[in-house]
A and B are shown apart, each in its own frame.
Chain A
Amino acid sequence: MIILLVVFAVIILVIVFSYNNLVNKKNRVDQAYGSIDVMLKKRHDLIPNIVATVQEYAEHEKSLLTDVTALRSQAIKDEGDTTKRFEDEAALTQKLRTLMVNVENYPNLKANTNFLQLQGTLHEVEEQISAARRAYNACILDYNNAVEMFPSNIIAKEMKLTVKPVFEIPEEERQNVNVKELFNK
């Protein structure tokens, strides 16, 4: 009888611990997502000014600027869908990097004080997005492990918790940028 009670108590403790652990990890993920959200919105606010400044000096980059503007709008539209949003933001990161390499061809633009300030702010925001993304992915890893591993996966299923996507960098972005190719585009 005592053994049964002990076994029952242990099971209850495991359930309570797993439940609390899952809630804790879910809240951490939400908190980390909030930090990324703030930085991504900062970047969205910067983009119209960057596009307007570059447009004045760099006529040949019209198509790239159009892509940047379109991706920004798409990312804002997809804010409710985490997976799509991350895809849009990763593509936007790549386009902005290409743009910043291409502006090296325009000395007048590079000498523009307003553009330099915008470029500096963008660089800083990108660094902070990178840090927030890494923190978010660390939280996601902990959360996804808890959702998938036994015995907490049983509680997770009851709580209707599912794995969440990481904020990944697409394969093409990971490749070393061929600077020569970029300038020939």
Chain B
Amino acid sequence: MSTHKLPTFEEVQNSIKETLEELEAIRVKGEAKNQKALIAIVIAVLAGVILSVITFAISNMLGGFVIFAAAIVIIYSISRYDIGFKEKVKYRLVLAILRCFDEELNYFPDNHISKQVMSQAKILRLWFADELSGEDYVEGYFKGNYVRFSRVKIQRSSGENHIRTIFDGAYSVFEFNKEFKGHTVVLRDVLEKSLGFLGQKIQDTFSFGKLVKLEHADFENRFAVYADDQIEARYILSTTMMEKLIELDDASYDGVLCGFVNNEIHLAVGGSGQLFKFSSGKTLHREEYIYQFYETIYQFFKMREFLGLDQKLWTKQN
């Protein structure tokens, strides 16, 4: 498998053929085992109820024995029920597809990008959140560059039994292809849109970092940029980069936010739902099923390529 370009779906399919067979066998076995356990539980419950009614009429001891026997069967069947096999299959399947992109990528199904990492960029209102969750964390090296992404969900309680979602989508961190010292953030331009010039003045006064006014009219209308270094912000946000962020914003479900810090770009792309939805009831041989996993991973690395992050610039050659 080539590590110098993104693999096609056909290449991935060919590469994971053997793994897929193995995982399908595990899935089928696991499903069968669970089905049997479920049937046994249902039969034990029904038989237990019916027989206990009959036997209690004859003798309490006999009725008690029937209930005891039914309970044993139910407990034994529950112990045979394998919840873990679904996670194992999903984990191995996602990892197999990831390794087609690069051998040094890893997958952690129950983890997500840490709050500490996200706090560095300051593009999400983490200080506002009561609950932070996520899953499907991918981390490792892609073409020698450190990458991380996962689903992240940030929620806040507002009133009794009411939870508001502040952000639900994909959060990724990639090495940027330029070196910079400061901190630049690109946020939605809510204030200027609603309050015009006054909004701009408020942004300038109360935000962290200085407001950076850029020349690209469309970009200025969508985003508000703050930075601690005006020149560095323009060095990072070249005209090409601004146009690419606009395209990404248009293509995303719920808009894009980004931050540049520690020579990395943090991207928060809104959009609900799990990154890798797995249902053990469906055969793994269905092409569109595997394609969904492949497509999710492909989109992350395609986004990185689209932003030009795969082009090593001169200062980062070493």
A interface secondary structure, majority: helix
**Minimum C-beta distance from A24 to chain B (A):** 13
User: Is there an interface contact between A130 and B314, defined as CB atoms closer than 8 Å?
Assistant: no
Interface range, B side: 10 to 19
Residues from chain B with Cβ under 8 Å of A132 in the complex: 231, 234
Mask for B271-295, Cβ within 8 A of A = 1, else 0?
A: 0000000000000000000000000
Q: Which of B166-187 contact A (CB under 8 A)?
A: 178
Count of A interface residues, CB-CB < 8 Å:
16
The residues in B between 203 and 249 inclusive whose CB is less than 8 angstroms from any CB of A are: 213-215, 230-232, 234-235, 238
Interface residues in chain B, defined as those with a beta carbon under 8 Å from any beta carbon in chain A: 178, 213-215, 230-232, 234-235, 238, 313-315, 317
Verify A124–B313 contact, CB threshold 8 A: yes
Q: Are B231 and A127 closer than 8 Å at their CB atoms?
A: no
B213 proximity list for chain A (CB < 8 A)? 138
Complex alpha-carbon distance, A119 and B317, angstroms: 13
Which residues of A are at the interface with B, using a C-beta cutoff of 8 A? Answer: 32, 35, 119-121, 123-124, 127-128, 130-132, 134-135, 137-138
In the complex, A35 Cα to B232 Cα: how many Å? 11
Contact status B317-A127, CB under 8 Å: no
Among B214, B215, B235, B314, the residue within 8 A (CB) of A121 is B314
With beta carbons under 8 angstroms apart, the residue of A119, A120, A121, A131 that contacts B234 is A131
B314 touches A134 (CB 8 A): no
Known A120-B315, A124-B314, A130-B235; 5 more pairs at CB < 8 Å: A123-B313, A128-B235, A131-B238, A137-B215, A138-B230
Q: Determine if A131 and B231 form an interchain contact, defined as CB atoms under 8 angstroms apart.
A: yes
Some 12 contacts from A to B, beta carbons below 8 A apart, are A32-B230, A35-B231, A119-B314, A120-B315, A120-B317, A123-B313, A127-B235, A130-B234, A131-B231, A132-B231, A134-B214, A137-B215
Interchain CB contact under 8 A, B215 and A124: no
Whether A131 pairs with B232 at a CB distance below 8 angstroms is: yes
- Most B Cβ at <10 Å: residue of A119, A120, A123, A124: A124
Q: Quick check: B178 and A127 within 8 Å, CB to CB? A: yes
The answer to whether A134 touches B234, judged by C-beta atoms less than 8 angstroms apart, is yes
Asked whether A124 lies within 8 Å of B231 as measured between CB atoms, the reply is: no
Which of chain B's residues have a CB closer than 8 A to the CB of A128? 231, 235
Report chain A residues within 8 Å CB of B315.
120, 124
Nearest B-chain residue to A134, judged by Cβ:
B234
**Chain A residue nearest in CB terms to B232:** A131
Question: How many Å lie between the Cα of A135 and that of B213 in the bound state?
Answer: 9
Among A120, A123, A128, A134, max chain B CB count under 10 A is at A134
Residues of B within 8 A of A32 (CB): 230-231
Q: Is the CB of A135 within 8 A of B314?
A: no
A132 to B233, CA, bound (A): 10
Nearest first, the 4 A-B pairs at minimum CB distance are A120-B314, A131-B235, A131-B234, A134-B234
Chain B residue at minimum C-beta to C-beta distance from A36: B231
Which residues does chain B contribute within 8 Å of A137, judged by CB atoms? 215
User: Would you call B234 and A135 a contact (CB within 8 A)?
Assistant: yes
